[in-house]
Amino acid sequence: MSLLTTRDIQPGRGFLERAAEVAWQYLEAQDQPAAAAHVVVPTAAQIPATRQALQAVAARSGRAGLLPRILTLGHWLLDVPPLPDDPLPRTHLTRLLTVQQAIRSQSWLQQIFGLQGEGAAWGLAQTILTVGDELSRRWLTLDAAWAGAADDDADYETRLQAALAVGYDTLAERFLGEESRIVMAFWRTLADRADPVPVRLQGMARLAEQVDGPVIWLAPTPPEHAEQAWLERLAQRVPVLQIGYAWHADVSNETTPSQASVTELATLLQAWPECRTDDAEVREAPAHAEADHGAAGFSQGDEPPWPAPAIRLCGAARFEDEALMAAQTLVNWLNEGRKQLALVAHDRVVARRVRALLARAGAPVSDETGWKLSTTRAAAALMRWFDIVVTGGDSQALLDFLKSPYCLPAMEGRSQRIGALEALIRRYSVTGGWARLKQVAERDSQYADPDAGNTAREATQQVGAMQALIATLADEASRWAEPGKRPLGAWLALAEQTFDHFDMRAALVADEAGRQLLECLRRLGLRGDAVQMASITLSLAEWRALIGVVLESEVFKEPAPAGDCRIVVLPLNGARMRRFEGVVVVGCDDGQLPSAAPELMFLSNAVRRELGLADREARFAQQARDLAEVLLNNAEVVLTWQRTGSQGEPRALSGWLQRLAQRYAAHGVTLAAKVALPVLTTRATPQKMPQPIAPTLVPNRLSAAGYQALRRCPYQFFATRMLRLAELDEPSEQLEKRAVGELLHATLLRYHQAVAEAPADHAGDAERLALLTAISREVFQALLTYDGNVLPFYHRWEQVMPGYVAWQREREAQGWQWQAGEVARAREMTLDDGHILTLHGRLDRLDRQRDGTLAVLDYKTQPLRVLRDKPDEIFEDCQLAFYGLLEPDVAEGAWVALENSERDGMDVNRAVELPDYATIVDWLARQLGEDIVRLRAGEPLPAFGDEAACRYCEARGLCRKGFWEGTA
C-alpha cells in the first residue's frame, strides 16, 4: 500500500508557514517522533528559511521536541557508502576524453557537424555528455537501480542495460533526425554502471532501503522522473508527504491562503498563462470577487479588491543609469533598516556594475551567482601562457602574462624590467617571435626614455636583465612546443613545472580563484579509469582546448566577506522558496526576459522535443513561474530595464511585464515608477588656454627631442616631459619609419668604420658600393627573417646606395673625412640662476676637415627637396643646432638625405648645410638657458602649439584645445 500524500499550496509570502503547518499536522498523525523524519529541500539555500518556519509553527502551537532533519537529497546520499565491489564513479574528464577521442577518430562525424579546430570537437563532446545525462535522468527508471530483498546487487548492470534498451527502443519508435540518432548511440554506449546518473540512481535505491522514518519532500518545482519514482518507492515502506506549488487559482486546499494572495496569484496567472500547471481555465477569484469582465478580469475603472502591490517597473535611459538605480534602491533600503535584501542578476553585466557600486558604498554583499572560472585573472594567466607557446612569443600575450600578479612576483626590479621590455616592444613595434625579441634586445641601444637619466652602466644592466628574462621565457616555451602528443599526466606535470619555474604557485595559493584553478588541475589528475586514461594522448592544441572547456565549465564564487551580508546576489531561480524585505531584478527588457539559453551546437529545440527533453517552451514556463514567485513572495520588488542597448538600439519592457502592467492599469494601479537618481549639480564654466606653472618639475636633463617639445608647445613639454604622461607606442604590423632609420644608421656606421680601417681596399666607387651592399644585406637580413615589411624599404635603399657612395667620394675630395658615428655625448651647462642642466644625445656622424674643423651630420630618411627647407625652420627644429651644444668644437652642420625622389634623381649633392652654424648654436645656448631659467622662476607653460604640433599631440585630451573661450 502506498503511503504517499500530496499537498499543493498556493505560492506566496505565507507558503513556508502554511507548508510547515501541513508538515507538523502530517508528522503528528504518524506513530514516530518528528526527529525521526527527514525534510528534503532542493538546495542548501532553502534550509534556513524552512527551519525557521518549522520552529515558528512549533512555537505557536506549543509543540515540544526536536525538529526533523532538513537537508538536500544530494547531502542525504552522502550517508550511503559505496559497496566494496562498486566501480569508481567515472569522472567528467574521463567521459569527456572518451567522447572527444571517438569524435576525432570518426571523420564522418566531423563532416556532419562541420567541426573546425580543436575547440569545436571539445564543444561537441561536452554537448553530447550534457544531453546524455539529460536522457539518463529522463528515461532511466529507478527500477534499473533497485535491488529488492531477493535480488543480488551483481545484477545491477543487467537491469541497467535493460532500462537503457527500453528507453532507447521507446525513442527509436519516433521519427528521429540524424543528430538525435547520434546522441542516442553515444548515450547507450556511455551510460553504464560507473556513469554519474546511474551511480546516483543506485545511491537512491540503497537509501530507500535504509529510511525508517517519515519523509517530507518540499520543493517549488515538480520532482524529476527518477525522483518521483523514488518517492513512490519510499511510500511503500514509510509515510511520504510531497508538498509543492499549486500554480492555479483554486483555493480548495485544506490550508487556505489569504484572500489577497489568492487574488494576486489569479491576476498573475491571467497575465502569464504559461505559469499554469493545470489544464482547466484559471478561475479569477473567490466567490465574493466580481464577475469576469474581459481579458483583464475586471472592467476599466473598477476598484481592485486587493491592496496595490509593491511592484515597481523602473526604466533607465542607459546601462549606467540602470546600475545606479538598482544600487541606490538597495542602499536606501539598508538605510531604512531592512536586513534581508536581494539583487536578482538577470543581466549579469549590470549586476556586476551594481556590485561594484555597492562595494564603493560599503554595503555588505554576498554573491551566490558566481562567474566562470575562465574569466578570473588566475585562469587568464594560464591561458595567456598557452597563447605565448602557440604563437611563438606573441608580444601582447607576453606582456599580459608578465603583468599578471601571479608571474614572477618576487623578481628583483620586476616593474622596471617589465616596463623596459614593454618600452622595447612598443618602440620597435615587435609583434611577436622569440628570435625577433632576442634580436632587438641585443641591439646596442638605449631602450629607456632618453630623458630618464639612466647612466650607461644602468642601461647596460637593464638590457642584460631583459635579455635574461626573454631567454628564460623562450626556454620554458620551447619545452611546451615540442612536437608530438603527450599523455594527460605529462601535460599536468609540465604545467606544475611551469608554475614553479615562474614562482606562480605561492601567488595562486594566496588567491581564492588561484586556489580553485590549482584544485581544478589537480582533479584532472584524479582519473577514474587509469588504464583508459593512460592510453589517451593529446597534442598541445587538444590540451589547450581541453583546459579551455574545463575552465568554462567551472564556476567561481567569491567567498562572502565576514560579518552580516544583508544583500544577496542570486540568479532568478535562486530565489525559489526564499523571502526578502526587498528585491531588485535587473535586466527586465524584452531582449533578456525571458532569457533563452544558447542552443548547444546541434541541440536545437526540435531535437530536444524528439528526445523527450524539456524544450524552450517548458523553460520559458518555468522562468515565468520563478518570476511570479519573486513577485508573490516578497513585500517589495523593483524591476529595472534599459530603454537603450549598448549599440544604441531601442529596447522595450519585457512582454511579460507589459501584460502584467496592463492588467493592473485596468484598475487604476500604475506599476511604472521613477527612481530619483543622485543629482550632481554642475555648472558650465568657460575655460581658457591652460597655462600651468610647475617650477619644481623642470627636468635637470634635457635632450634635443625634449627641448623640441618645449619650443613646439610648452604645454606639450609640461605634460610629456615634466608630468611624464607620454603614451606608449602601440606595436604595429607595419614597419615604423623610425626602425628603418635605425637600420640605416647601423649600416652606415659599419660601412664607414670598414672604409676607415682599410681605405686602400676600398679606394674605388665599385669596391665601396660592393661593401655597402654587403653590409646592408647583412643588417637588413636580421629583420627580414622576422618581418617581410622591411623588403620595400630595402629595395628603396638599394636605389639610394650608388648616389650615397658618389656623394661620399665628392665630400672626401673636398677634404672631409669621416671621424665617428653614433656618438653619445653629454654636457653640463651652468644656467644664469646657478643650476646645472645636463644636455645629452647621440650624434649621427662627425666629419673632420684637413684643417681640423669638425662638422656634425644628421641623417634624414627624407628626400633632398624636403631638406632644402630645413634652414628656414631652424628656430623651430633645433635638433641639428642642439648637436653643436653637445660637441662645442663643431663649426659646421648639415642634413644628409638617405632617400631619393624623382625630382632629385641621382643628384651627387645629398647634403644641405645650415648657414652660420656657430651663430645659430650660440643663439640656441642663450635661448635654451633663458627658457629653463624662466621655467624655474615660475614661467607659465601655455598650450599655444600650432595645428602641426597639435595634430598628433599626446596631450591634446589634457589641454582640451577646441573647447576654450576664444582662440589661442
Mean pLDDT, residues 622-632 taken together: 94
Which residues contact residue 483 at a Cβ distance below 8 angstroms, ignoring those fewer than 6 apart?
none
- Confidence check: pLDDT of 299 > 50: no
Residue 471: phi, psi to the nearest 5?
-65, -40
* Amino acid (1-letter code) at residue 44: A
User: Mean pLDDT, the chain, as a whole number?
Assistant: 83
- The three cell numbers of residue 281 are 481555465
State the Cα–Cα distance between residues 583 and 329, nearest whole angstrom: 9
Q: How confident is the model at residue 142 (pLDDT cuts 50, 70, 90)?
A: confident
What's the pLDDT at 178? 66
What b/e string do you get for 258-267 counting C-beta neighbours within 10 Å, with b at 16 or more? eeebbbbbbb
Whether 907 and 897 have beta carbons less than 8 Å apart is answered as no
What is the number of residues in the chain? 968
What's the pLDDT at 930? 95
What are the tens digits of pLDDT across the range 890-912? Answer: 999 999 999 886 555 455 688 99
- Residue written as grid cell 544531453: 131
Question: Which has the minimum average pLDDT: 734-748, 829-843, 859-873?
Answer: 734-748
- Confidence check: pLDDT of 293 > 60: no
What's the pLDDT at 910? 87
Largest Cα–Cα distance in the chain? 124
- Give the Cβ contact number of residue 813 at 10 Å: 8
Q: How confident is the model at residue 666 (pLDDT cuts 50, 70, 90)?
A: confident
What's the pLDDT at 262? 61
What's the pLDDT at 193? 78
- Confidence check: pLDDT of 253 > 80: no
Mean pLDDT, residues 460-464 taken together: 72
- Confidence check: pLDDT of 290 > 60: no
- Residue 806: which of 908, 686, 680 has the closest Cα? 908
- Confidence check: pLDDT of 377 > 90: yes
End-to-end, the C-alpha distance of the chain in Å comes to 97
Question: Which has the minimum average pLDDT: 339-343, 370-374, 686-690, 781-785?
Answer: 781-785
Q: How confident is the model at residue 733 (pLDDT cuts 50, 70, 90)?
A: low
- Confidence check: pLDDT of 255 > 90: no
Mean pLDDT, residues 598-605 taken together: 59
Q: How confident is the model at residue 445 (pLDDT cuts 50, 70, 90)?
A: very low
State the Cα–Cα distance between residues 590 and 652, nearest whole angstrom: 6
> What is the separation of C-alpha 193 from the centre of its chain, rounded to a whole number of angstroms?
39
Computed over its alpha carbons, how large is the radius of gyration of the chain? 39
What's the pLDDT at 561? 67
What's the pLDDT at 376? 92
State the Cα–Cα distance between residues 932 and 831, nearest whole angstrom: 8
- Confidence check: pLDDT of 515 > 60: yes
- Residue 224: which of 78, 70, 42, 75 has the closest Cα? 42
Q: How confident is the model at residue 703 (pLDDT cuts 50, 70, 90)?
A: very high
- Residue 862: which of 802, 832, 903, 808 has the closest Cα? 903
What's the pLDDT at 807? 93
What are the tens digits of pLDDT across the range 337-360? Answer: 998 999 999 999 999 999 999 999
State the Cα–Cα distance between residues 876 and 874, nearest whole angstrom: 5
Helix axes 917-936, 879-886, angle to 10 degrees: 90
Mean pLDDT, residues 592-614 taken together: 70
Question: Which has the minimum average pLDDT: 23-37, 123-137, 474-488?
Answer: 123-137
- Confidence check: pLDDT of 563 > 70: no
- Confidence check: pLDDT of 287 > 50: no
The answer to whether the predicted template modeling score (pTM) of the entire model surpasses 0.85 is no
What are the tens digits of pLDDT across the range 2-50? Answer: 688 999 999 988 899 999 999 999 999 988 888 999 999 999 999 999 9
Question: Which has the minimum average pLDDT: 22-31, 127-136, 266-275, 376-385?
Answer: 127-136
Mean pLDDT, residues 947-963 taken together: 83
- The three cell numbers of residue 867 are 631638406
Q: What percent of the chain has pLDDT over 70?
A: 82
Whether 100 and 122 have beta carbons less than 8 Å apart is answered as yes
> What is the separation of C-alpha 758 from the centre of its chain, rounded to a whole number of angstroms?
61
Taking the CA atoms of residue 202, residue 205, residue 209 and residue 212 in that order, the dihedral angle to the nearest 10 degrees is 120
What's the pLDDT at 125? 82
* Amino acid (1-letter code) at residue 333: W
What's the pLDDT at 448? 42
- Confidence check: pLDDT of 289 > 60: no
Q: How confident is the model at residue 444 (pLDDT cuts 50, 70, 90)?
A: very low
What's the pLDDT at 325? 94
What's the pLDDT at 447? 41
Mean pLDDT, residues 923-939 taken together: 95
Mean pLDDT, residues 695-700 taken together: 94
Whether 480 and 499 have beta carbons less than 8 Å apart is answered as no
What are the tens digits of pLDDT across the range 150-201? Answer: 344 456 556 656 666 666 566 555 555 666 777 777 777 777 777 888 888 8
State the Cα–Cα distance between residues 310 and 330, nearest whole angstrom: 15
- What are the beta bridge partners of residue 4? 240
- The three cell numbers of residue 707 are 627641448
* Amino acid (1-letter code) at residue 873: E
Mean pLDDT, residues 744-757 taken together: 94
- What are the beta bridge partners of residue 71? 40
State the Cα–Cα distance between residues 494 and 496, nearest whole angstrom: 5
Whether 40 and 207 have beta carbons less than 8 Å apart is answered as no
Burial class (CB in 10 A: 0-12, 13-18, 19+), 841: buried
> What is the separation of C-alpha 905 from the centre of its chain, rounded to a whole number of angstroms?
55
Whether 661 and 672 have beta carbons less than 8 Å apart is answered as yes
Most confident of 90-94, 257-261, 560-564, 619-623: 619-623
Residue 615: phi, psi to the nearest 5?
-100, -175
What's the pLDDT at 466? 81
Give the side-chain half-sphere CA count within 13 A for 636: 9
- Residue 391: which of 454, 458, 477 has the closest Cα? 477
What's the pLDDT at 286? 33
Helix (H) or strand (E) holding 312: strand 311-316
Q: How confident is the model at residue 308 (pLDDT cuts 50, 70, 90)?
A: low
- Confidence check: pLDDT of 934 > 90: yes
Mean pLDDT, residues 582-586 taken together: 96
What's the pLDDT at 385? 95
Specify the 3-state DSSP secondary structure of 515: helix
